[in-house]
Chain A
């Protein structure tokens, strides 16, 4: 029996170090680090302002911690992504997305451009500033291991048909969040409408290339699980890659038309600004030498 190339530490190291180059250009679903190396920044965004660039596999997940003002664009690359999203205030993650308040306060369940993602503390976590899809869902949440086992035969995070809650549990754990910290989530790119009698009608996606852009109104932890919608009617688990791109920017300002678009939104953004102001020290004269 001859020794393999990895039978010594030197050989194993050489083997490991050769992998990056060997894989170049062969793996589509991966992060690009640094994000400034992303080949196609959005119009008007300089590469240096990109802070996260990743293609998430169907059945995969990612998580981002981003500053207030960061723009986060989700793109359904091939037409069958479903981005399940949870948002937490990064400085105090007990403050988190509250779907019920989001739809109740804004008198609207069909989320699109101009709407806010509200926290349980009456503040805006994020604004939706662009949406070329319109096929989203605020009501039916994500999938569980039990439901995916029943529908597809498996629901484990690293199996062939991962449940959204299993993916959220892993993504959240990387921010010291537990299953208790996972409330009902929203999802983008697989639309649902509700009949007069309360029954859901699954509308599917808006097609390849649809995108949604969120602006972080507070520093955020975002958990993103890309997996089939719980009401997806297809027998076979179907989910395609999701692009996640984030870049530095500004939060919504009082001069923006969104600020005053509705009295509820104005009060949410006012409360958010007050919260940020109270935590921001006034620059002290002479503090720098």
Chain B
């Protein structure tokens, strides 16, 4: 079942529509990469609202209603999932990395972390996490930052900002709506001298995390296409996105 009954939303935001298609509940999505398990993690309780495989390098978006759960499964292991969240009814209220890490007293996200918006209000809560910690500092790769980090020869490569601009545009979001995002499954330590870097991941195939929406949230994702650093193990792979509704089923 999809939830398409909120007239306050802009047309493009209705229906949790995923451009990559959805699979019927309880069946294995037909991904092109590593095989996707049909079984859902224990934390993904309730009726399946949406079950999609986001291909490697692709964008994705959906509205997750208040109380619903979004489970993100790292099918191939060590796949960075760049993630932004907006209030589905007022997109000027959006995920804020500084507010989130101020309130929880840590730069890393794990079970219990509350994602806060730019006015400090809770948007989503991380209710389960197999991985242990996720990044709030590194932001999204872009063609422009890739040229600074790796050289001007990388300007033609795909990047997360391309995905965010394209997918956000479907919901009326533009460049000014893009801010520091979450990188699920990405490992970014801060050394005692302040050195920060994207290093080899600590995730593994099949690990998952589950977020509970505290309000109706538009989630915009880039399944990171980066190949110049270890954030995707130098091999971008598909991820599985499942929305469940504990109040049903």
Say if the beta carbon of B149 comes within 8 Å of chain A: yes
In the assembled complex, the CB of A22 is this many whole angstroms from the nearest CB of chain B, namely 41
CB–CB B148/A200 < 8 A = no
A interface residue count range (under 10 / 10 to 19 / 20 to 34 / 35 or more): 35 or more
CB–CB B101/A139 < 8 A = yes
Most A CB atoms within 10 A — which of B98, B105, B147, B180? B98
CB–CB A267/B194 < 8 A = no
CB–CB A180/B176 < 8 A = yes
CB–CB A196/B192 < 8 A = yes
Say if the beta carbon of B228 comes within 8 Å of chain A: no
Say if the beta carbon of B133 comes within 8 Å of chain A: yes
Which one of B30-38, B134-142, B237-245 contacts A? B134-142
CB–CB A198/B133 < 8 A = yes
Partner of A100, one of B119, B121, B139: B139
Say if the beta carbon of B179 comes within 8 Å of chain A: yes
Supposing A100-B140, A140-B102, A198-B107 touch, asked if A268 and B148 sit within 8 A by C-beta, the answer is yes
Chain A residues within 8 Å of B120, by CB: 144-147
Chain B 180-220 interface mask (CB, 8 Å, partner A; 1/0): 11000000011011111110000000000000000000000
Chain A residues within 8 Å of B198, by CB: 104
CB–CB B152/A109 < 8 A = no
Chain A residues within 8 Å of B180, by CB: 98-100, 183-184
The residue in chain B whose Cβ has the minimal distance to the Cβ of A122 is B144
Chain B residues within 8 Å of A185, by CB: 98
Q: Which residues of B (118-165) have their CB < 8 Å from a CB of A?
A: 118-121, 133, 137-140, 142-145, 147-149, 151-152, 161
Docked Cα-Cα span, A110 to B192, in Å, equals 10
Docked Cα-Cα span, A126 to B40, in Å, equals 48
Chain B 85-116 interface mask (CB, 8 Å, partner A; 1/0): 00000001000111101110111100000000
CB–CB A200/B176 < 8 A = no
Partner of A184, one of B97, B142, B161: B97
Chain B residues within 8 Å of A178, by CB: 92
Partner of B118, one of A107, A118, A179: A179
The residue in chain B whose Cβ has the minimal distance to the Cβ of A124 is B148
Partner of B196, one of A94, A109, A140, A268: A109
Say if the beta carbon of B175 comes within 8 Å of chain A: yes
Chain B 65-95 interface mask (CB, 8 Å, partner A; 1/0): 0000000000000000000000000001000
CB–CB A105/B99 < 8 A = no
Docked Cα-Cα span, A181 to B178, in Å, equals 9
In the assembled complex, the CB of A163 is this many whole angstroms from the nearest CB of chain B, namely 9
Partner of B119, one of A146, A181, A197: A146
CB–CB B194/A122 < 8 A = no
B interface residue count range (under 10 / 10 to 19 / 20 to 34 / 35 or more): 35 or more
CB–CB A105/B145 < 8 A = yes
CB–CB B98/A184 < 8 A = yes
Docked Cα-Cα span, A140 to B96, in Å, equals 10
The residue in chain A whose Cβ has the minimal distance to the Cβ of B152 is A267
Say if the beta carbon of A63 comes within 8 Å of chain B: no
Say if the beta carbon of A154 comes within 8 Å of chain B: no
Chain B residues within 8 Å of A179, by CB: 92, 118
CB–CB A120/B144 < 8 A = yes
Chain A residues within 8 Å of B118, by CB: 144, 165, 179, 182
Say if the beta carbon of A45 comes within 8 Å of chain B: no
CB–CB B105/A199 < 8 A = yes
CB–CB B145/A183 < 8 A = no
Most B CB atoms within 10 A — which of A101, A118, A179, A230? A101
Supposing A108-B196, A184-B96, A198-B108 touch, asked if A147 and B176 sit within 8 A by C-beta, the answer is no
Chain A 232-272 interface mask (CB, 8 Å, partner B; 1/0): 00000000000000000000000000000000100110010
Chain B residues within 8 Å of A103, by CB: 137-138, 196
Docked Cα-Cα span, A184 to B97, in Å, equals 8
CB–CB A199/B140 < 8 A = no
Say if the beta carbon of B177 comes within 8 Å of chain A: yes
Docked Cα-Cα span, A194 to B194, in Å, equals 8
Q: 23 pairs across A/B with beta carbons < 8 Å?
A: A98-B139, A99-B180, A100-B180, A103-B196, A105-B145, A118-B148, A121-B144, A122-B143, A139-B101, A141-B99, A144-B99, A144-B120, A145-B119, A147-B102, A147-B103, A165-B119, A184-B98, A196-B192, A198-B108, A199-B106, A264-B148, A267-B148, A268-B148
Q: Enumerate chain B interface residues (CB-CB to A < 8 A).
A: 92, 96-99, 101-103, 105-108, 118-121, 133, 137-140, 142-145, 147-149, 151-152, 161, 175-181, 189-190, 192-198
Give the 4 A-B residue pairs with the shortest CB-CB distance, closest first.
A141-B98, A100-B139, A122-B144, A110-B194
